[in-house]
Amino acid sequence: MDLHSKQLWRKTAFMGVFLALAMICSYIEMLIPFDFGIPGVKLGLTNIVVVLMLYSIGTKEAFCVSVIRIFLVGILFGNLIGILYSLGGGILSFLVMALLKKGNHLGCISVSVAGGIAHNIGQILIAALVVSSHYVLYYFPVLLIAGLLTGFLIGLLAQELIVRLRFLTEKYHE
């Protein structure tokens, strides 16, 4: 096996591991009754994997894992409307995080907070389209605060994992 083939296999294996971790995080999040009486609020555990990949592996790889995870988790544990909401939130969140990270002016925690807020914006916009009503937008202040808090928590965890797993993620680029 030549060097290029080994690198391709290593990268494919890493992507598979990160996809599996993201799917496990999604499943665990489904099991946690974390709504505090506020429907639609979640921790965003999967975003730990996305932020870790964005900072350690690469933008393209993080995007691929994020989108594939949305479809697989939606098919396995959800429904088509859930996939639509997740895509709206996930893609907007990813685009915001990738753009902010690219500028190198903000740290991991700030990028994660922006991603959490953008995810909620994406989902509420999808909800407004699905129910054909602007009244769901009144729910935005609640989701803004939730995105800020969960984004901060996820950013802290991701930042720590980036440091602690550097030895592992460096192998991806070998």
Q: How far apart are CA 119 and CA 98, in angstroms?
A: 13
The domain tally of the chain equals 1
Instruction: Report the CATH number at residue 40.
Output: 1.10.1760.20
Query: Domain range spanning residue 88?
Result: 3-172
Give the pair of three-digit tokens for residue 77.
């544990």
Give the pair of three-digit tokens for residue 65.
């894992």
Question: pLDDT tens digits for 67-83?
Answer: 999 999 999 998 899 89
Largest Cα span, the chain: 59
- Three-state DSSP class for residue 59: helix
Question: pLDDT tens digits for 38-63?
Answer: 666 788 899 999 999 999 999 999 99
Q: How far apart are CA 101 and CA 59, in angstroms?
A: 9
Q: Specify the pTM.
A: 0.89
Q: How far apart are CA 93 and CA 53, in angstroms?
A: 14
